[in-house]
Chains A and B, each alone.
Chain A
Amino acid sequence: LNGHRSSSGDVARTKILLLGLRRAGKTSVQQVLFNNLPPKQTFYLETTIRIVKHAVDTVIPLEIWDCPGNVTVETLGIPLSQISTIIFVIDIRDLYNQPISKLVEFIVAADQENPNIGLEVFVHKAEKLQDDDKIESFRQIQERVSDRLLDISPDYEQIQLNFHLTSVYDHSLHEAFSRVLHKLVPTLPYLEELLNVFCANSQSPKAFLFDIRSRLYIATDASPVDSATHNLCCDYLLMLNSFGPLYKSIGPGRQRQVSPLTPPPSASSSTLRSSPSLSSSGKTSPPTTPTASTRDTASRKHGKELFYPSAATSLHPATPGTTLTYHLITPYLALLALLPTNVYEGRRGLLEYNVVFFREGVQEVCETEREARGGG
C-alpha cells in the first residue's frame, strides 16, 4: 500500500515551545530528555541565542523549539496558532517579577490567538531546595501567576495552566514531560485500552508503554501511577539501553535474522557530548541491520517472523515476587510491565501471546496515526 519513507521531513509535526528566561534550564531539559545528555554535563551548555528546532520521532512526530530567553510572541516567527503546547521553564529560586511577566505575556497572547494551546509551567531545578522550601516556592509561583492574570482580567480564572516541579537530576522531569505528551497524542485512549486489556489478561498490576530513547511514557493502564514504580521503570530502561551497545560484537558474529527497523539517529545535534565515559552510558539501543521495517505494511502482517528484543528482571527472591518485563513493540516503543513472578515463570506462553496481541494493536494505532498525518 504505502511505500517506504526514508525522510520524514514533510510530516506534520506537533510543535512544543520551550520558553523561559535565560539559564532557566530550557536547553538542559531538551538535551537531557532527547539527546541523552548526562545531567551533570548540562553545566557546560552554552546560552542559546537563536531558536533551535529539534525533530523528535516518537509515537507522534514532535518538533521541540528551544528558544532563547529574549524571544517574544512577535519574534517567534510563526503564529501561536501553529503551536500545540508552550512549556514555560522557571528556575524555582526565581520568585521575582521578570519570569512571571514573561509567562503572563505569552499566556495572554496565546489566549487570543489559540485558546486550545497547552500551557505548562516547569518549576525547574527543584532539587536545589529542601522539601518545605520547595513546596512553598512552588505555591508562591503559582499564586503570583494567577494574581497577575486576574489583575488583567477576571476571565483568566478559567484558564487551564498546569504546574510541574522538575529537575534534570531525578525522574521528575521525565514524569512531567510524559504528562505533557499525553495530552498531545490523539490515539491515547486506544493505547490505554490496549494496556488495560494486557494488564487484565496477564495479571499485571501496572504496565507502561515507553518511548525507548527518551524514557518518556506514552501511555499507561488505568491504575494510578506511583512515582516509585515509574522511576524504577525509567531506571530499568536506562540500564537496558546501556547494555545493548556494551556487548555488541563488531567482529564476525551471527546476527538475529530479522529485526524490526531501529529508529534513525536522533535528529538533534549531538556535538555536546564531551565525556566518552559519561555520554556512552547514555547511548540507546544498539543499531542493527534494518532488514525489515515495521512501517512497511507487508512485513507488519508477518510480524511473527520479526525478532523483537525482550528482557526481564526479577525482584525479590521471595514468593510471590515481582518480575519487570520489557518487550519491544515498535522501533520506538517498548512495553514495560510488572508481573507476579509466578505468572512470568509459569505462564510464559500466555504472556507472549498477550504481548503479540498488544504489539499488533499498538502497531495498528501507530499506522493509523501516521496515515492521518499524511506521513505514512
Chain B
Amino acid sequence: MRKKVLLMGASGSGKTSMRSLIFSNNPASLTARLGATIDVEQNHVRFLGDLILNLWDCGGQDAFMDSYLTTQRSTIFQQVGVMIYVFDVETREMNKDLEYYRDCLDGLRQFSPSASVFLLVHKMDLIREPRQPSFEKKRKELQDASGEGTVSVFGTSIYDESLYKAWSNIVHTLIPNASILSKHLTTFAVACNATEVILFERTTFLVVATSSTLPDIPSTASSLGSDTTDGEDARGLDPTRYERTSELIKAFKYACSRVREEFHSLEMELYDFTAILAEMTRNTYVMVIVHDPTIETAALKLNVRMARRKFEELQGDSVAL
C-alpha cells in the first residue's frame, strides 16, 4: 500500500532538512549544506510491512509553487494521503505564505478531499523562551487561515525532539490498524511485567504504537511538547519520553555510523528501571521499560524473541487493510 505525502512550504522553510533528518539519519549540522530543491523530489520509503511512503518534497520557490497550483495541479494534488505544510516561524512574508497555503488547501479539496493536513511551525529553536506564546499566536493564525477543515499544528525544530513528535503523529494517521498493534503491545507489556512497551519503525525510529497510550491523535490540534501533558501516566513518566527516545537513538545511530558501526541493540539496568531496545520485526524495534527491579534483561530479551512471529504477522495485517 502506498501513501502519498506532500511536503509543502516556502523555500528555506526547512522541508528538505527535516526529511534528511528523519529518513536519512543525517545530523542537523549537515542541513546547512542543502541547496534549494528544484521542482519536486520524490522518495519512496518502505515504512511498515507493506506500507510505502511516497514523499513528495516540493521545492518552495514561487515559480515552482505557481506551477504546482496551475499546470501541475492534478499531478500534485491527486491521491494525497497527507499534506505537511511547513512555515518558517521567522518568516517575513507570512501573508504570502498563507496565500499559497490556502491555494494548496483548495487544490487538496478538489483532488484529495480526504487528505489530512499537518501544519508545522518550524525553526522554533530560533525563538527565545518562553516559546509557547509565540507558538499559540501562530497556531491561531494558521487555524483561522484553514477555514472549516481540521488541521493539526505542531511547533518543530531539527535541533530537538519536537520534530519526532510531529512526524510520529503524522505517520500514525497512515497506519490503518495501529490500534490493533497497540492492543497487542499492551498484552505483551503485561506478559513482561513492563511499565510500558514502545514500537518504533526501524530506520526512522518514529513511534508506531505504544502499549499504554497511543501517540496522541491530535484532536485539540495543538502541541508543543513543552507544556502538554499528553502521554503522561499515573507514574508520572516524562511526557516527552517517546520523541526524546527517538531523538536519542537516532543521535546514537548516527554516532555509530560515523565509526562505520551499526547500532543493533541496547540494554540498561539503571537505578530506577530496566530497559531493553531490540529488533522486533524486519522493520520495527521494540523498547520494553520495566520498573520492577527483580526482572532481568535476559528475561525481557527472551520475551521479545518469542513475540517476534506474532508481531511479524500483525504488522502485515495492520497495513494490508
Does the CB pair A231–B258 fall under 8 Å? yes
Stretch from B115-123, B139-147, B155-163, B308-316 contacting the other chain: B155-163
Given A239-B251, A274-B128, A277-B225: A247 in contact with B272 (beta carbons within 8 A): yes
The segment out of A54-62, A213-221, A312-320 that lies at the interface is A312-320
Q: Is the CB of A250 within 8 A of B235?
A: yes
- B residues near A321, Cβ cutoff 8 Å: 264
Instruction: Report if A249 contacts B (CB, 8 A).
Output: yes
Q: Is the pair B159, A278 in contact by a Cβ cutoff of 8 Å?
A: yes
Q: Is B96 an interface residue (CB 8 A)?
A: no
Q: In the complex, which of the residues B225, B236, B252, B293 contacts A236, with contact meaning CB atoms closer than 8 Å? A: B252
Query: B268: CB under 8 A from chain A?
Result: yes
Nearest Cβ distance between residue A173 and chain B, in whole angstroms? Answer: 15
CB distance from B123 to the nearest CB of A (A): 13
Q: Are A231 and B255 in contact (CB under 8 A)?
A: yes
Q: How far is the CB of A8 from chain B (nearest CB, A)?
A: 23
Q: Give min CB distance, A343 to chain B, whole Å.
A: 16
Q: Does A79 contact B (CB under 8 A)?
A: no
Within 8 A of B (CB), among A281-319: 281, 285-286, 288, 307, 309-317
Is B42 in the interface zone, CB < 8 Å from A? Answer: no
Interface string of B130-148 (1 = CB under 8 A from A): 0000000000000000000
The residue that B236 contacts in the complex, of A231, A251, A255, A310, with Cβ under 8 A, is: A251
Q: Which of B159, B271, B291 contacts A259 (CB 8 A)?
A: B271
Contact B29 A169 (CB under 8 A): yes
Query: Chain A nearest CB: distance from B292 CB in Å?
Result: 6
Asked whether, in the complex, the Cβ of B271 is within 8 Å of the Cβ of A40, the reply is no
From residue 139 to 180 of chain B, which have CB atoms closer than 8 A to chain A? 159-162
Give Cα A280–Cα B196 distance, bound, in whole angstroms. 21
Give A40-82 as 1s and 0s: 1 = Cβ < 8 Å from B's Cβ atoms: 1000000000000000000000000000000000000000000
Q: Does A1 contact B (CB under 8 A)?
A: no
Q: How many A-B residue pairs have CB under 8 A?
A: 151
B251 near A235 with CB under 8 A, answer yes
| Residue in B128, B272, B275 whose CB lies within 8 Å of A249 | B272
CA A276 to CA B155, docked complex, whole Å: 14
Q: Contacting A228 at CB < 8 Å: which of B195, B235, B258?
A: B258
**Contact present for A246 and B241 (CB under 8 Å):** yes
Closest to B227 in A: A276
Interface size of B by CB at 8 A reads 48
Q: Is the CB of A309 within 8 A of B270?
A: yes
Does chain B have a CB within 8 A of A256?
yes
| Nearest opposing residue in chain B for A317, CB measure | B264
Q: A246-B238, A247-B289, A322-B261 are in contact. Are A40 and B125 (CB under 8 A)?
A: yes
* CA distance in complex: A311, B261 (Å): 18
The answer to whether A242 has its CB under 8 Å from any CB of chain B is yes
**CA A133 – CA B18 in complex, angstroms?**
31
Q: Within 8 Å CB of B289, what residues of A?
A: 247
Report if A248-B159 is in contact (Cβ < 8 Å); known contacts: A276-B226, A311-B267. Answer: no
A307 contacts across to B, CB distance below 8 A: 271, 293
Task: State A357–B252 Cα separation when bound (angstroms).
Answer: 30
Provided the pairs A240-B268, A246-B245, A249-B291 are in contact, do residues A317 and B226 lie with their beta carbons within 8 angstroms? Answer: no
Closest chain A residue to B224, Cβ basis: A277
Cβ B267 vs Cβ A40 within 8 A: no
A-B contact pairs, 16 of them (CB 8 A): A40-B159, A169-B29, A228-B259, A232-B255, A235-B255, A239-B251, A240-B268, A243-B275, A245-B238, A247-B289, A249-B291, A262-B271, A277-B162, A280-B240, A286-B270, A313-B252
Task: Please give the residue numbers on chain A whose beta carbons come within 8 Å of chain B beta carbons, in ascending order.
Answer: 40, 169, 228-229, 231-232, 235-236, 238-240, 242-251, 253-257, 259, 262, 274-278, 280-281, 285-286, 288, 307, 309-317, 321-322
